[in-house]
Amino acid sequence: MNLLETAKLTKYFGDTHAVDKVDFTIGEGEVLSLIGSNGAGKTSLVNLISGLILPDSGQIRFRGEDITKENVHARIKAGIARSFQIVNLFDELTLLDNVALSIFSREGMTRRLFSLADRQQAVWQEAHDILRQFGLELKAEVLAGGISQGERKLLDVAVAYALKPRLLFLDEPTSGVSTREKAPIMDVISSIVRAQKITAVVIEHDMDIIFKYSDRIVVMHQGEILASGAPEAIRNDERVKDAVFGPTHA
Amino acid sequence: MSVKKTLIWAVPIAVLLLVLPQVVDPYPTILLAYGLVMAIAVLGFNLLLGYTGLLSFGHSAYFGVGAYAVAFMVKYLHVQSMELFVLGAIVASILVTALFGYVCVRYTKIFFSILTLALSQVLWSLAFKFFWVTGGTDGLRVPTPKLLGVATAEGEDKIYFLAHGYYYYVLAVFVICVALMWLIVHSPFGKALQAIRDNETRARFIGIRIRRYRFVAFLVSGVFTGIAGALWVPLNGLTTPDILYWPFSGEIVFMAVLGGFRNFTGPIVGAVVFNYLKTYAVGFTVYWQALMGVILVVLVMTLPTGIVGSAKLVYAVARRRLAK
């Protein structure tokens, strides 16, 4: 059974067909990459599924339930989380606080006005564990605004991961970091996602990363799905070569 | 900051505040009572500014609601009990803050600020125009209240009452309010507010219901300010529309900036210092508003983190140097 399905999902911004009648599926446990040139509709599709924007028409079903009109909060409760292309963190809070906030929210504890956050040992322990998994433990007490871009990217994913999602969207998890840092970041993310059997959708422009870490690749072009298949099939697809890689791509 | 660390500095200050009326003249003690009252208001205000990232220019409204609730209870219900005054002010400020908050928390930044300002001005104009109810510019007089059911002794000097019995009453409410606010800002809810302040989008995407949390913060903030209004009016003896007017909201902002709104104690220090500063500035020159304006400009330029923020910075630098 598919974890997520969209049916004729559509979003127009004026005359621009950002997402045009897209039928998209993700299987349970899959690590899927979404590729396409700039403006192809990748981020718009993720924004629609995660609830940042609402579709003009079409349907989104998650674990068999129609979530098309649900708000962000309901989608998170259902098990959808995301990281962002431009990192979204709580810059004036520590790394530990950033992750702990996700856990507090996940457990419905942020509604508590008269209990000390510091007394919730289980939350802080879990936050430390998550930072350790992401290799950020040594900077637990550093403010999120004071770490490197690569670390910020990892923390952004860690904050989403702390929600214990079933489906995790990773919007360009290595954008803005040096070439040398990209593989280690993806190694960390990939190992955690696969170990926890989280279904993940990765949006990326770096094709080496895409082909190395994906089970399946979905190619978008001008708001539509151009192709979908295993990495090798996509690599050899003539339409994809023309639309995404360009004629000179080997 | 942990409970233990907080108590290390909080207990000596509380003891100092307890013994102060016994060692200083009544006048500075009464001024301190004013300062403590305003500190409660600014603590409430700062839950929005410092912790939620919302700048309200309309907190005079909730202060005024607290004060007028007391005055109405005296005028129309002949209530004398200070506890009932506080209770009435809490109920009134919950009602008004809930209504205003419902409208205001839909917006942020300048739109939020202007909306809070506009709504407070509505209350001011009501207090101003409905003079047969509110007393208009003459205001409403509030006599010496009963504290814990005990009326002032026959012939007791009012100054003595304000500098002793009433001061300790204010101090007790102040301590309760500080403890409650400290708990709130150190709770998971308080953390969620800071998350909203820092990054609304991310807060939303970890499942925090932004508008609902802002509304609760607004409500708590308004109630604290309303309680301050209730405590202020017996101290002042009279409430007039001036406390609903926008410059009074500006003073609350000034106090928060003066003390430093990015730390817990800043608003308390700011309120107490501002109160003394204003009192002595008024006595010093008729152009006291200009003097206060200059102080604000100098302050923002030289101490952007306020008195407490700067003191912490100096302390941290001194510690580092001593450690070398």
Predicted confidence (pLDDT) per residue in B214-253, tens digit: 999 999 999 999 999 999 999 999 999 999 999 999 999 9
Identify the pLDDT of residue B212: 95
Nearest residue in chain A measured CA to CA from B190: A113
Note whether residue A76 is domain-resident: yes
Domain of residue A206 covers 2-92+148-245
Identify the pLDDT of residue B157: 85
Per the CB < 8 A criterion, the answer to whether B232 and B60 are in contact is no
- Taking only Cα atoms into account, the Rg of chain A, rounded to an integer number of angstroms, comes to 18
Note whether residue B282 is domain-resident: no
Q: Are strands A2-13 and A16-27 parallel, antiparallel or unpaired?
A: antiparallel
Per the CB < 8 A criterion, the answer to whether B237 and B142 are in contact is yes
A200 touches chain B (CB under 8 A): no
Structure tokens at B148: 């814990």
Note whether residue A233 is domain-resident: yes
pLDDT at A250 over 80: no
B195 touches chain A (CB under 8 A): yes
pLDDT at B26 over 70: yes
CA separation, residue B7 to residues A116, A139, B10 (Å): 15, 28, 5
Percent over 70 (pLDDT), chain B: 99
Nearest residue in chain A measured CA to CA from B192: A110
Cα gap A168→B309, rounded to integer Å:
40
Nearest residue in chain B measured CA to CA from A107: B207
Note whether residue A138 is domain-resident: no
- Cβ-count burial of B118 within 10 angstroms (0-12 exposed, 13-18 middle, 19+ buried)? middle
A111 touches chain B (CB under 8 A): yes
pLDDT at B156 over 80: no
For chain B positions 9-68, those within 8 Å of chain A (CB to CB) are: none
Closest C-alpha among A77, A75, A53, A76 to residue A66: A75
User: Given CA atoms A99, A105, A107, A110 in this order, what sign does their dihedral have?
Assistant: positive
CATH number, position A212: 3.40.50.300
Task: Select from A89, A105, A115 the Cβ nearest to the Cβ of B187.
Answer: A115
Cα gap B225→B93, rounded to integer Å:
8
A109 touches chain B (CB under 8 A): yes
Note whether residue A215 is domain-resident: yes
Subunit contact A159:B202, Cβ cutoff 8 A? yes
B5 touches chain A (CB under 8 A): no
A218 touches chain B (CB under 8 A): no
Percent over 90 (pLDDT), chain B: 63
pLDDT at B151 over 80: no
- Taking only Cα atoms into account, the Rg of chain B, rounded to an integer number of angstroms, comes to 20
Query: pLDDT of A17-30, one tens digit each?
Result: 888 898 989 999 89
Subunit contact B195:A93, Cβ cutoff 8 A? yes
Task: Select from A76, A113, A120 the Cβ nearest to the Cβ of B207.
Answer: A76
Per the CB < 8 A criterion, the answer to whether A240 and A226 are in contact is yes
Subunit contact B187:A81, Cβ cutoff 8 A? no
Note whether residue A212 is domain-resident: yes
Residues of A within 8 A of B3 (CB-CB) are: 116
Cα gap B82→B259, rounded to integer Å:
29
Highest mean pLDDT among A122-131, A184-193, A234-243: A122-131
Note whether residue B185 is domain-resident: yes
Identify the pLDDT of residue B56: 93
pLDDT at A163 over 60: yes
User: Which region among A34-43, A211-220, B82-91, B154-163 has the lowest average model confidence (pLDDT)?
Assistant: B154-163
CA separation, residue A26 to residues A60, B185, B248 (Å): 12, 41, 58
Domain of residue B91 covers 3-245
Q: Give the confidence band of A246 by pLDDT, cuts at 50, 70, 90.
A: low
Residues of A within 8 A of B188 (CB-CB) are: 104, 109-112, 115, 117, 120
Identify the pLDDT of residue B10: 86
Per the CB < 8 A criterion, the answer to whether A95 and A39 are in contact is no
Calculate how close chain B gets to A20, using CA atoms only, in Å. 25
Cα gap B6→B20, rounded to integer Å:
21
B220 touches chain A (CB under 8 A): yes
Residues of B within 8 A of A120 (CB-CB) are: 188
Task: Select from B205, B207, B213 the Cβ nearest to the Cβ of A106.
Answer: B207
Count how many pairs of residues, chain A against chain B, have C-beta atoms within 8 Å.
103
Highest mean pLDDT among A89-98, A226-235, B283-292: A89-98
Phi, psi of B89 (to 5 degrees): -65, -40
Calculate how close chain B gets to A192, using CA atoms only, in Å. 19
Please compute the mean of the pLDDT values over residues A165-188 and round it to a whole number.
87
Note whether residue B120 is domain-resident: yes
pLDDT at A248 over 70: no
Q: Give the confidence band of A85 by pLDDT, cuts at 50, 70, 90.
A: confident
Note whether residue A250 is domain-resident: no
Subunit contact A116:B187, Cβ cutoff 8 A? yes
Query: pLDDT of B61-105, one tens digit each?
Result: 999 999 999 999 999 999 989 999 999 999 999 999 999 999 999
Q: 3-class secondary structure for chain A?
A: CEEEEEEEEEEEECCEEEEEEEEEEEECCCEEEEECCCCCCHHHHHHHHHCCCCCCEEEEEECCEECCCCCHHHHHHHCEEECCCCCCCCCCCEHHHHHHHHHHHHCCHHHCCCCCHHHCHHHHHHHHHHHHHCCCHHHCCCEHHHCCHHHHHHHHHHHHHCCCCCEEEEECCCCCCCHHHHHHHHHHHHHHHHHCCCEEEEECCCHHHHHHHCCEEEEEECCEEEEEECHHHHHCCHHHHHHHHCCCCC
Subunit contact B191:A110, Cβ cutoff 8 A? yes
Q: What is the mean pLDDT of chain A?
A: 89
Residues of A within 8 A of B194 (CB-CB) are: 90, 92-93, 97
Residues of B within 8 A of A159 (CB-CB) are: 202, 206
Note whether residue B78 is domain-resident: yes
Note whether residue B316 is domain-resident: no
Subunit contact A97:B204, Cβ cutoff 8 A? no
Identify the pLDDT of residue B4: 81
Cα gap A66→A13, rounded to integer Å:
24
**What is the count of structural domains for chain B?**
1
B208 touches chain A (CB under 8 A): yes
**What torsion, rounded to 10 degrees, do the Cα atoms A113, A119, A122, A123 define?**
50
Residues of A within 8 A of B191 (CB-CB) are: 93, 97, 100-101, 104, 110, 117
DSSP single-letter state for residue B305: T
Query: pLDDT of B105-129, one tens digit each?
Result: 999 899 999 999 999 999 999 998 8
Task: Select from A76, A82, A110 the Cβ nearest to the Cβ of B188.
Answer: A110
Q: Give the confidence band of A37 by pLDDT, cuts at 50, 70, 90.
A: confident
**What is the count of structural domains for chain A?**
1
Note whether residue B255 is domain-resident: no
Subunit contact B191:A117, Cβ cutoff 8 A? yes
Note whether residue B257 is domain-resident: no
Subunit contact A163:B206, Cβ cutoff 8 A? yes
Identify the pLDDT of residue A247: 58
User: Which region among A95-109, A213-227, B23-37, B72-86 has the lowest average model confidence (pLDDT)?
Assistant: A213-227
Identify the pLDDT of residue B1: 64
Residues of B within 8 A of A106 (CB-CB) are: 206-207
Subunit contact B186:A88, Cβ cutoff 8 A? no
Per the CB < 8 A criterion, the answer to whether B130 and B122 are in contact is no
Cα gap B45→B113, rounded to integer Å:
12
The answer for residues whose C-beta is within 8 angstroms of residue B23's C-beta and 6 or more apart is: none
Note whether residue A136 is domain-resident: no
